[in-house]
Amino acid sequence: MRVNLYKVVVPVSDLGQAESFYLQLLGVSGRKFGLAESHFDCGNVVLCCRQPDPRSETSSVALSSPRVCLAVEDLDAAFEKAKTAGCSALDQELRTQPWGDRSFVARDPFGNTIVFVDEGTRQREASEQASGGPNGLFATGQVVTIQRASEGRSVASVVKIFGNEMWLKRELDGEVAPLGKGEAIQLQYYDATGAFSAGSEVINSSSADPRYVALAIPQEANAIQRRAAPRLRLVIPVSFSLFASPDSEEVSEEVFNARSHDISTGGVRLETEAQITTGDKVQLTLTLSESLIVTVIAKVMASQQAEVKGKTLTSAGVQFVEMELQDQIDLLQFLIEDEGESEVSPEEGVREIEAAPPADGSGDGAENSTAPEETDEEGGEKLQIPPIVQSSISFDGEKVVLSLLNGFREGITVKSVMVSKEAGSLTPLLDEPLQLSPGQAQTLDMTGKLIALFNSGSAEAQETHLHILFKLDPEPPDQPAPTSYLVRFENGALTRFDAED
């Protein structure tokens, strides 16, 4: 029987620390697979650092200890030999994953763990990717929503990527009909630039477990909403503790209370009597319901204080930076289910700021120059939310002009305006920060920098989805939502177009 050693798995309690250690020790960078694994290539053998998840589905033989992985040409024959070889522990039967991987786990008489796979499984693992699609559109561990024609949205997570094949695990409640090969599917996913929709189709599925389905990886996606994630105005109880510093892993024992003003998969806006400032690292506990509690590591992106009824309250915009996969799934499912019940839709979930009057105070809006007050359910004053700069794009002959407007009663600095082509790298459009007085409008010629994003030597029409991002100073708790435009480059000129053109 021919046997190949192809992988060694070591459990770690902190994947980030393990990646830093083995980078220093081996001189090679790890390839991240989701939130739980990082692979280091050591010749023909892979060193896999894995942070065990107690909620994961594992072999009946415990896999929390180091183990070696062996590939054999005849897995069934190897399993029969293992039954009589004196193993101290052995799986009762061969395991077959939804995507076809076959394996069994044994322990030798000394308690060492050995994983046996067939040669086809080893080859499939060798072709596995951490991400797929143009510019790594999808990645293992990513949470998405999936929709078929016959039912509403459900949540799924990416578990495996092979070439153009992406395996998802659907989070299903109750009996749901399995997806059929060739069935059209609509995916929604979220990243730092926006919320996107992409069409796909089923190319494979598990007959034994309808939760697992393989989709063709979409090669393009369209923006479907301006926010980076669905955001709802929800008031939920929140508790949090501060870390010793933004770089520390030590959290304080003191627990503070807060409540949310709105929440999304990417972050939450808090109101609290505790003193927290921009840059603080916090551990949040979100009580979504009596039976659903989510814990997340987050960073305070901006904060401001105000006196309300004799109390000093802090309003803080907090961005999630580390969350377990199951917590991501639970939060997204919670938002989807609550979306239909909320009085405010995701796109309306952040209050719009009306344009400020001219700087000299003239105009019909002068007497309303103060931003409107909000009240909470008990009639108390809410903290004021800093403004966002409004934008629009116009195509004037051969030029593309970006218009910016400061819709606030105070001056503000636009630190940068970035454009991303599809999911590619960001390109700055400003050569230096732009100062805008209250009510001031500014136009910028973007033609040259936009054209540089395309292949000017190609005779074919090139189309892309551009997302314009803003970074403001001072930073508001709610950063401005990305503004999206569809643009076509053809015959040396840029034109705006709609998807149906």
Is 19 a residue whose pLDDT tops 60? yes
Is 345 a residue whose pLDDT tops 70? no
Confidence (pLDDT) at 365: 32
Confidence (pLDDT) at 173: 65
Residue 118 contacts residue 102 (beta carbons within 8 Å): yes
Tell me which of 79 and 363 has the higher pLDDT: 79
* DSSP code, position 346: G
Q: Is 184 helix (H, G, I), strand (E, B) or coil?
A: strand
In tens, the pLDDT along 474-490 reads 665 555 555 666 777 77
Q: What length is written for the chain?
A: 501
Closest CA to 463 of 437, 428, 496: 496
Average pLDDT of the chain to the nearest whole number? 75
- Is-above-0.95 flag for pTM? no
Confidence (pLDDT) at 17: 87
Range in 54-58, 181-185, 303-307, 486-490 with the lowest mean pLDDT: 54-58
Q: Which DSSP string corresponds to 359-412?
A: TTS-STTGGG-SPPP-B-TTSPBPPPPPP-EEEEEEEETTEEEEEEEE-SSS-E
Highest-scoring range by mean pLDDT, 223-237, 290-304, 382-396, 432-446? 290-304
Going by pLDDT thresholds of 50, 70 and 90, the confidence category of residue 328 is: confident
Question: Hey, what are 188's tokens?
Answer: 């929604």
Is 377 a residue whose pLDDT tops 90? no
Tell me which of 250 and 297 has the higher pLDDT: 297
- As a whole number, mean pLDDT of residues 261-277 equals 83
Confidence (pLDDT) at 193: 53
* DSSP code, position 347: G
Closest CA to 71 of 27, 118, 29, 15: 118
Please return the burial class of 162, using the count of CB atoms within 10 Å of its CB with bins 0-12, 13-18 and 19+: middle
Percent of the chain with pLDDT over 70: 71
In tens, the pLDDT along 63-117 reads 567 899 999 999 999 999 999 999 999 999 999 999 989 999 999 999 899 999 9
In tens, the pLDDT along 412-451 reads 777 777 776 654 556 777 788 888 776 677 888 888 877 7
Is 225 a residue whose pLDDT tops 90? no
Is 368 a residue whose pLDDT tops 50? no
Going by pLDDT thresholds of 50, 70 and 90, the confidence category of residue 145 is: confident
Question: Hey, what are 462's tokens?
Answer: 């090139």
Question: Hey, what are 137's tokens?
Answer: 């559109």
